[in-house]
Amino acid sequence: MNKLILFGVFVSVTCCVYSQQNTVATGQDNSGSGGTISLSIGQIDYQNTTTTNGNVSQGVQQPFELFPLSLPENSQYTIELFPNPTSEQLTINISNPNAFKDYFIYDMKGKIILNGTLESEKTTINLEPFATGEYHLIMQNNLDQSYAYKITKL
């Protein structure tokens, strides 16, 4: 009798508790000097709730990133990227290379496919081995500010 009552209480409580309703095949969290990313694979459905203040999608990971797409107007340096679009080489010209330290190239899935250090006024990056598509070049200055540029690989 006690087991039946305990089972009834357990079922009642679990029906009232909100929890994840989906099972995913796999997932992981990764982090590096360029930031962090979290992913899950295998989600088959989700629940979306919309109000006047916004919406929430249960079980769906939604990234939120803020970074400038160009240099501020009062910047003490200039950056030129060419040719863009490119099929082989991308050249980066920086008027003050000492102000920048690292660059990262991300694919559209958010994976870092190439990174390096900007050591001179002119840096050439070989994009020939990579597939045709859109990429993001993120450059980080010595103040840990990031600047992003869209690169098209032909």
Assigned domain for 137 exists: yes
121 Cβ contact partners less than 8 Å away, ≥ 6 residues apart: 93, 94, 95, 97
Asked, for residue 9, whether it belongs to a domain, the answer is no
**Contact criterion met (CB below 8 Å) for 105 and 113:** yes
Are 92 and 28 in a shared domain?
no
Does the pLDDT value for residue 133 go beyond 80? Answer: yes
Containing structural domain, residue 136: 79-153
Q: Are residues 84 and 147 in the same domain?
A: yes
Q: In which band, very low, low, confident or very high, does the pLDDT at 32 lie, cut at 50, 70 and 90?
A: confident
Q: Of 70, 67, 79, whose CA–CA distance to 34 is shortest?
A: 67
- Which of 14-18, 57-61, 96-100, 121-125 shows the lowest per-residue confidence on average (mean pLDDT)? 14-18
**Phi-psi region for residue 42, left (φ > 0), alpha (ψ -120 to 50) or beta?**
left
Which has the closest alpha carbon to 98: 117, 126, 116, 75? 117
Tell if the pTM clears 0.75, that is, is over it: no
Domain presence at residue 146 = yes
- The total of structural domains in the chain comes to 2
DSSP reduced 3-state for 97: helix
Place of tokens 């050439």: 124
Q: For the domain that residue 128 is a member of, what is the CATH number? A: 2.60.40.1930
What are the two backbone dihedrals, phi and then psi, of residue 16, each rounded to the nearest 5 degrees? -95, -10
Are 92 and 50 found together in one domain? no
95 confidence band (pLDDT: 50, 70, 90): confident
Residues in the chain: 154
Is the pLDDT at 77 greater than 80? The verdict is no
